[in-house]
Chain A
Amino acid sequence: MRVTDSMMVNRFLSDVMQNRKALTELQHRMSSGRQIRFPSDNPVGTVNALRLRSKIAQTERFSANIKEAQDWLTTTEYAVSTALSYVMRVKELAVGGVNGAIGEAGRQAMAQEAAVIRDGLIQTGNTTHGDRYVFGGHSTLTKPFEASGAVGTHAGDINREVGDGVLVKINVSGIDTIQPAILAVDSLIQALNDADIAALSGTVMESIESVIDTLTATLSELGGRMVQLSLTQERQQLVKLSSEQLLSETENADFAETVTLFKAQEYAYQAALSAGARIIQPSLLDYLR
């Protein structure tokens, strides 16, 4: 095969260009720290990167939703347990009222204490989280309890999305929890004022017992949701962590590998240059007299 001067020069130039292109590519990979800059660098990797980035944003959002749900539930749990302790005191009053020895004056004092407890219950029923009433159902901006008792229906579930399509209900209705306690206190006050011993030990005591059951059941249900939420939170954190790791593997350059490749490419480049410098220079003219 004939090999001409420009063949040598062209081949040399094209080899050097290839080397330079590879060097620039690796250099960019090192300085940007990314191996996918454009979808064409790796279409499948790009799809994964897009999916993982959105996944991370989603888990962050769901984590924030869970945190918010936990706060809301904690507020509710505190309010329900306060209500429960009020009702326990109410039960003590009812038991005391049955005792015939305490007399009229004693029952009046008990009735007064019960009235104070009733105020406390109404206040508890108006517990807010931020500026929202937690017991009012969807009517979060309207006071669910007035002095006379419950206002409105307290209807509506408040949900938080804690995973893709997974909803957790975070509210309990005031009508179902606080209102029975207020009614029980009302009946106690009525019975104390009427000195209705039979009612005190009968219907009043029964309603108090039933309220205690309801509140206890609500508390354990709230506790259950808290446990569910913290498990979900852990899972979201794990998903986020593994997604971040996967994203980094997909999108980020492996530094050890990139540096090694760069070094090898650099040698190849220098070798091409020095070989070119030797082969291009001499010609027959150098050896003619």
Chain B
Amino acid sequence: MTSQFFGIEIARRAMDAQRRAMEVAGHNIANANTRGYSRQRVSMTTTPPLVLHGAGERETIQVGTGVRIEDIRRIRNAFLDFQARKAQAMLGQWQTREQILSEVEALINEPSEAGLRSVLDQFWESLQELANNPESRAVRTTVIKQAGSLAVAFRHHRQVLTELVSSINLSIEAKIGEINATARQLAAVNEQIQRAVVAGQSPNDLMDERDRLVEQLAKSAGAVSMPSKNHTVHVLVGGGVLVSGNNFQQIELLSDGTLKWQGLALSVKPEAGQIAGYLQMRDHVIPSLIGDIDTLAASVISYMNATHRSGFDRDGNPGEDFFVGSGAWDIAVSPVLAGNPDRIAASGTGDVGDGSVALRMARFRQEPIVSGASVDDFFRGFIAGIGVLSQEAKRLSENQMLLVEQIEYQRESISGVSLDEEVAELLKYQHAFNAAARVINSFDEMLEVIIERMGRVGR
């Protein structure tokens, strides 16, 4: 036999559970637009039944005792998270490459009438003009001017690329700061999660936060994460441990540009993510472009000087070096020529009317002087190389973007909050709550009958 008040207890439990469920729906609605939030679901279960003895035909029967909230779970697919992190790491890397290569393209300014090609054209033209008019001082002055423009163009191209390297270093420094801060935050979240789990709670919102931070690290540092005990994560960057439980390791940028684990003698080698993109550009792509510009300048210098030395100037003296310097960083017109254009050795014989050496100098762009290629071919190859790299980066970052969006879409489909759904749930729980209240009413009326109206026999 159960107490007359037992029904009220069942209804109270029901009202409690339904109210909780409504609160969860409210929490979902409140976080419908929160980044990284996974919708939560209440899982209800019956409370343990009462066993009654000798209450009917059978010896014992079980009587239901109502409902309780078993758990509040977040709805999330771990496989999609894994995929999303991988895609984010690649996206970060290719977006960074794309952004820097676009900058390179803007800096070299080709095809246009203001780039290095145009300056090469003008220098060639001035040498042709000199071959036609070796006597003319005005033409000689023009040659010096155009040669000066060429030298400036070489130095400028090299300088902007060198400056790009320093600006990449600034970006790396900022990114490292961000990664370190995120790692610290993640370690703290790990600790909170661990405490909650040990206390038997399910820290849904903390786990969302944990996943958000891990994904951020995947994008910036190409971090790989592994689930660890008590719902915490273990995060690796380039094989080294960044976060483990509530411990974290900081990364530092040394003055020579290398990345190192703070306090350890190990360097950090990110394999993906924005940092990897920056490092690839800084250590490989841009230096190789700078090397190309230097090779080009050095070839022009050595061809021009050798040819110029074989000639004679306007007064019949043998020619000296045309350019000074040994690469794109220090190429300049020889001060001897700049001070006296008569010293340009245009003549092959010493006679003033001979422009044959000027004509040979003008062939600097057609002769195979840059490691077997002509200046024109080499320069076109240089530009095409940048174009192909940049095109590849654009294409891959666009593809990765689509992939990330697709995964995000699938993840949203599973974890996202649908307002329609939540409102419907809300109605469902509200109805159940109302009905439970009605149950209390019924028991109340029953008790009223027992208390108020019973025991009046014969009164």
Given contacts A38-B106, A54-B117, A161-B359, contact A2 B353 (CB under 8 A): no
Q: How far apart are the CA atoms of A51 and B113 in the complex, in Å?
A: 13
Please state if A7 and B353 are interface contacts (CB–CB under 8 Å): no
Please state if A10 and B412 are interface contacts (CB–CB under 8 Å): yes
Given contacts A46-B111, A159-B356, A285-B419, contact A68 B132 (CB under 8 A): yes
The size class of the interface chain B forms with chain A is: 35 or more
Q: How far apart are the CA atoms of A10 and B32 in the complex, in Å?
A: 13
Produce 1/0 per residue, B81-118, CB < 8 A to A. Answer: 00000000000000000000110011010110100011
Please state if B352 and A139 are interface contacts (CB–CB under 8 Å): yes
CB-defined contacts of A10 to chain B, threshold 8 Å: 405, 408-409, 412
Please state if B412 and A7 are interface contacts (CB–CB under 8 Å): yes
Q: How far apart are the CA atoms of A38 and B363 in the complex, in Å?
A: 28
Q: How far apart are the CA atoms of A163 and B376 in the complex, in Å?
A: 17
Give B125's nearest chain A residue, CB to CB: A61
CB-defined contacts of A53 to chain B, threshold 8 Å: 111, 113, 117-118, 121
CB-defined contacts of B113 to chain A, threshold 8 Å: 53
Produce 1/0 per residue, B209-253, CB < 8 A to A. Answer: 000000000000000000000000000000000000000000000
Please state if A2 and B416 are interface contacts (CB–CB under 8 Å): yes
Judge if B386 is at the interface, Cβ distance under 8 Å.
yes
Please state if B408 and A138 are interface contacts (CB–CB under 8 Å): no
> Nearest Cβ distance between residue B360 and chain A, in whole angstroms?
10
Judge if B423 is at the interface, Cβ distance under 8 Å.
yes
CB-defined contacts of B110 to chain A, threshold 8 Å: 39, 46, 50
A-B contacts, 21 listed (Cβ < 8 Å): A2-B414, A4-B416, A5-B419, A6-B412, A10-B405, A14-B405, A44-B384, A47-B380, A47-B384, A53-B111, A53-B113, A53-B117, A138-B352, A156-B353, A156-B354, A160-B131, A161-B128, A165-B363, A283-B420, A284-B419, A285-B419
> Nearest Cβ distance between residue B346 and chain A, in whole angstroms?
11
CB-defined contacts of B351 to chain A, threshold 8 Å: 137-140, 156
Judge if A190 is at the interface, Cβ distance under 8 Å.
no
Please state if A40 and B408 are interface contacts (CB–CB under 8 Å): no
Set B349, B387, B405: member contacting A46, Cβ < 8 A: B387
Give B363's nearest chain A residue, CB to CB: A165
Please state if A140 and B416 are interface contacts (CB–CB under 8 Å): no
CB-defined contacts of A288 to chain B, threshold 8 Å: 423, 427
Give B132's nearest chain A residue, CB to CB: A68
Set B381, B413, B424: member contacting A2, Cβ < 8 A: B413
Give A2's nearest chain B residue, CB to CB: B413
Please state if B412 and A284 are interface contacts (CB–CB under 8 Å): no
Give B347's nearest chain A residue, CB to CB: A138
Produce 1/0 per residue, B384-422, CB < 8 A to A. Answer: 101111110010000000000100110011101111110
> Nearest Cβ distance between residue A62 and chain B, in whole angstroms?
8
> Nearest Cβ distance between residue A37 and chain B, in whole angstroms?
9
Q: How far apart are the CA atoms of A4 and B419 in the complex, in Å?
A: 7
Nearest 6 CB-CB pairings of A with B? A39-B387, A140-B353, A138-B351, A43-B387, A40-B390, A4-B416
Judge if A77 is at the interface, Cβ distance under 8 Å.
no
> Nearest Cβ distance between residue B387 and chain A, in whole angstroms?
3
Judge if A272 is at the interface, Cβ distance under 8 Å.
no
Residues 1-49 of A at the B interface (beta carbon under 8 Å):
1-7, 10-11, 14, 36, 38-44, 46-47, 49
CB-defined contacts of A139 to chain B, threshold 8 Å: 351-353
Please state if B388 and A43 are interface contacts (CB–CB under 8 Å): yes
Residues 314-366 of B at the A interface (beta carbon under 8 Å):
347, 349, 351-356, 359, 362-363, 365-366
Please state if A285 and B352 are interface contacts (CB–CB under 8 Å): no
Judge if A218 is at the interface, Cβ distance under 8 Å.
no
Set A5, A39, A57, A164: member contacting B105, Cβ < 8 A: A39
CB-defined contacts of B292 to chain A, threshold 8 Å: none
Given contacts A2-B418, A40-B101, A65-B132, contact A165 B387 (CB under 8 A): no
Please state if B106 and A50 are interface contacts (CB–CB under 8 Å): no
CB-defined contacts of B363 to chain A, threshold 8 Å: 165
Set B349, B355, B417: member contacting A6, Cβ < 8 A: B417
CB-defined contacts of A284 to chain B, threshold 8 Å: 419-420, 423-424
Please state if A4 and B413 are interface contacts (CB–CB under 8 Å): yes
> Nearest Cβ distance between residue A108 and chain B, in whole angstroms?
41
CB-defined contacts of B414 to chain A, threshold 8 Å: 2
Judge if B379 is at the interface, Cβ distance under 8 Å.
yes
> Nearest Cβ distance between residue A158 and chain B, in whole angstroms?
6
CB-defined contacts of B391 to chain A, threshold 8 Å: 39-41, 43
> Nearest Cβ distance between residue B377 and chain A, in whole angstroms?
9
Q: How far apart are the CA atoms of A284 and B417 in the complex, in Å?
A: 14
Please state if B111 and A251 are interface contacts (CB–CB under 8 Å): yes
Judge if B208 is at the interface, Cβ distance under 8 Å.
no
Judge if A136 is at the interface, Cβ distance under 8 Å.
yes
Set B102, B118, B121, B423: member contacting A285, Cβ < 8 A: B423
Q: How far apart are the CA atoms of A181 and B416 in the complex, in Å?
A: 105
> Nearest Cβ distance between residue A199 and chain B, in whole angstroms?
38
Please state if B413 and A50 are interface contacts (CB–CB under 8 Å): no
Q: How far apart are the CA atoms of A53 and B117 in the complex, in Å?
A: 9
CB-defined contacts of A36 to chain B, threshold 8 Å: 111
Produce 1/0 per residue, A152-180, CB < 8 A to B. Answer: 00001011110011010000000000000
Judge if B437 is at the interface, Cβ distance under 8 Å.
no
Judge if A141 is at the interface, Cβ distance under 8 Å.
yes
Give B416's nearest chain A residue, CB to CB: A4
CB-defined contacts of A164 to chain B, threshold 8 Å: 366
CB-defined contacts of A4 to chain B, threshold 8 Å: 412-413, 416-419, 421
Judge if B33 is at the interface, Cβ distance under 8 Å.
yes
Q: How far apart are the CA atoms of A158 and B120 in the complex, in Å?
A: 25
Please state if A6 and B413 are interface contacts (CB–CB under 8 Å): no
Residues 113-139 of A at the B interface (beta carbon under 8 Å):
131-132, 136-139
> Nearest Cβ distance between residue A171 and chain B, in whole angstroms?
9
Give B420's nearest chain A residue, CB to CB: A284
- Known interface pairs A5-B416, A53-B118; 11 further A-B residue pairs with C-beta atoms within 8 A, sorted by A's residue number: A3-B418, A5-B418, A14-B405, A38-B105, A38-B106, A40-B102, A46-B383, A132-B353, A136-B353, A285-B419, A288-B427
CB-defined contacts of A132 to chain B, threshold 8 Å: 135, 353
Given contacts A7-B409, A136-B353, contact A43 B384 (CB under 8 A): yes
